[in-house]
Amino acid sequence: MHYISTRGQAPALSFEEAVLTGLATDGGLYVPENIPQFSREQIAAWAGLPYNELAFEVIKPFVDGEIEDADLKDIIDRSYQTFRHSAVAPLVQLENNLWVMELFHGPTLAFKDFALQFLGNLFDHLLEKRGQKVVVMGATSGDTGSAAIEGCKRCKNIDIFILHPHNRVSDVQRRQMTSILEPNVHNIALEGNFDDCQNMVKASFADQSFLPEDRQLAAVNSINWARIMAQVVYYFHAALSLGGPHRAVSFSVPTGNFGDIFAGYIAKQMGLPIEQLVIATNANDVLHRCISNNDFSKQPLVHSLSPSMDIMISSNFERLLFDLYNRDGEAIRQLMSDFNNGQASMEETALAKARELFSSYRCDDDRMVEVIAREYDNSDYLLDPHTATGVDAARACRRGTDVPMVCLSTAHPAKFPEAVRKAGYPQDPPLPHHMADLFERKERYTVKDNDLKTIQEFVARNL
């Protein structure tokens, strides 16, 4: 299995090289040269498998023998031992054929744990084998950072630097990152928004001359293919739990950076019978504007009550565009250049393909708060603001009630007490017992100006 860049000018890499490289040298994102295919009979044979065993079956073709089966199984087993529910990703029914899949039972209470517990163990295995050390540099709108730190904090071959937008993540999200005091962990609060953090990381990957000669950057953001690969698994898990592959299943996915729903698209390409994929956005709605009105333009970023989706530059959307444009790297380079200059639109044929694959929806803060309140009143089930966006999108966009619709519940409501209180919940939702002392833990982080040279000097000084 080779991995190629969406912009067509970087060399093809092996799985191991793609994982450790992250962003391609031409600015593109790595994708598999070919998507593995499973027959309906193969998928049906996985019904009833424990989550870790299903993960091995789904992930194995992407690795293509570069890691021994026994080692890959061990990496996967260790990654999901840390989850606090025996089903790993349990399904909860809200109404007839409408379900939420709870993806918040990992160590940091967010869906990012599925990919980043795996990626941390994968990094450790590959780096130990190569006798190599790397610098992990990542940007977070809230959840990726804590999950990445949790996955990498014990890795002796990694120094990790996470940038978050100063005062633009929830207190719980910040403390989950900044209360990890291992010496290889560095939190940077950037005076800017998430897109500024993400641009800083991308610029650093493009020119790594600020690092010592024996170090390179490795990516934990969803630009790293291994993260997408790990997220594909829970689409198979949900579908098999609801009668797949003998019946189709639909999914509604709250998303800002497009990685989580892109994993659903990959699952569909692999043979999973997915009827509908619904893109649920908040007021930062570039994905909805693009699908509904062909408006692929930058707009000012809005600070919302669902901060993990406060993203205007959806990096993983480029991976989809690469397929929509028949894997034409030159066309993607031009399209992304137009977008970076402030205005872009898709060719009509590409837009038509996107609309066949996806529905889209926008849910602002006022509407999201209503959804949380209504669901709690009706069923005593408390949604976090991102999941509420997905539930609202599911109800608005589903084409009928005969196909099960699964909303990805991406975070625990305790991470977002402000939104929950606005919905009328009488108190801050309690943190799980293993995190009950979070607000008593010591914090360590550094506030930095939105300046690339300043950030890169800080990284180099702390290696």
Task: Give the distance, in angstroms, between the CA of residue 345 and the centroid of all CA atoms in the same chain.
Answer: 24
C-alpha distance from residue 463 to each of 115, 119, 130, 186, 394 (Å)? 25, 21, 19, 10, 46
Q: pLDDT grade, residue 310 (50/70/90)?
A: confident
Q: Which residue in this structure is represented by tokens 């690795």?
A: 63
CB 383 within 8 A of CB 374: no
Write the DSSP assignment of 306-345 as a string of letters. SGGG--SS-TTHHHHHHHHTTT-HHHHHHHHHHHHTT---
The residue length of the chain stands at 463
d(Cα 417, Cα 174) in Å, to the nearest integer? 13
User: Which tens digits make up the pLDDT trace of 173-186?
Assistant: 999 999 999 999 99
Highest mean pLDDT among 23-27, 294-298, 379-383: 379-383
- The per-residue pLDDT for range 142-153, each reduced to its tens digit, is 788 999 999 999
Q: Which element (helix H / strand E) includes 187?
A: strand 185-190
Who wins on pLDDT, 34 or 297? 34
- Which CATH topology does 89-106+225-422 take? Rossmann fold (3.40.50)
What mean pLDDT value characterizes the chain? 95
Per-residue DSSP letter, 432: P
pLDDT value of position 296: 87
Q: Residue 343 above 80 pLDDT? A: no
- For position 297, what pLDDT does the model report? 84
Helix (H) or strand (E) holding 422: helix 417-422
Nearest to 137 by CA among 196, 185, 181: 185
The catalytic residues are 112
SS (H, E, C) 130-163: HCCCEEEEEECCCHHHHHHHHHHCCCCCEEEEEE
**Domain boundary assignment for the chain:** 89-106+225-422
Q: Could you report the per-residue pLDDT of 41-64, keeping only the tens digit for each?
A: 999 999 999 999 999 999 999 999
- Per-residue pLDDT for 342 more than 80? no
Task: Give the span between the Cα atoms of 216 and 373, in whole angstroms.
Answer: 47
The pLDDT score that the predictor gives to residue 416 is: 92
Token code pair at residue 315: 């990096």
Alpha helices in 33-106 (DSSP H): 40-44, 51-63, 69-80
Of all residues in the chain, the percent with pLDDT exceeding 90 is 87
Contact 195, 284 (CB under 8 A): no
Which pLDDT belongs to residue 298? 82
23 pLDDT exceeds 90?
no
Predicted confidence (pLDDT) per residue in 114-143, tens digit: 999 999 999 999 999 999 999 999 999 878
pTM of the model: 0.93
- For the segment 404-420, the average pLDDT, to the nearest whole number, is 95
Q: Which of 107, 199, 115 is nearest to 146 (CA)?
A: 107
Return the axis-axis angle of helices 225-241 and 112-130, rounded to nearest 10°: 130
Are 272 and 235 in contact by the 8 Å Cβ rule? The answer is yes
pLDDT of 283 reads 94
> What letter represents residue 199's amino acid?
N
Q: Which of 187, 140, 185, 126 is nearest to 160 (CA)?
A: 185
Asked if the model's pLDDT at residue 383 lies above 90, the reply is yes
Q: How confident is the model at residue 262 (pLDDT cuts 50, 70, 90)?
A: very high
- First CA to last CA across the chain, in angstroms? 34
Q: What is the pLDDT of residues 179-220, one digit of tens each?
A: 999 999 999 999 999 889 989 998 999 899 999 999 999 988
- Decide if pLDDT at 340 tops 90: no
158 strand-pairing partners? 134
Mean pLDDT value across residues 406-416: 95
Q: Does 350 score more than 90 pLDDT?
A: yes
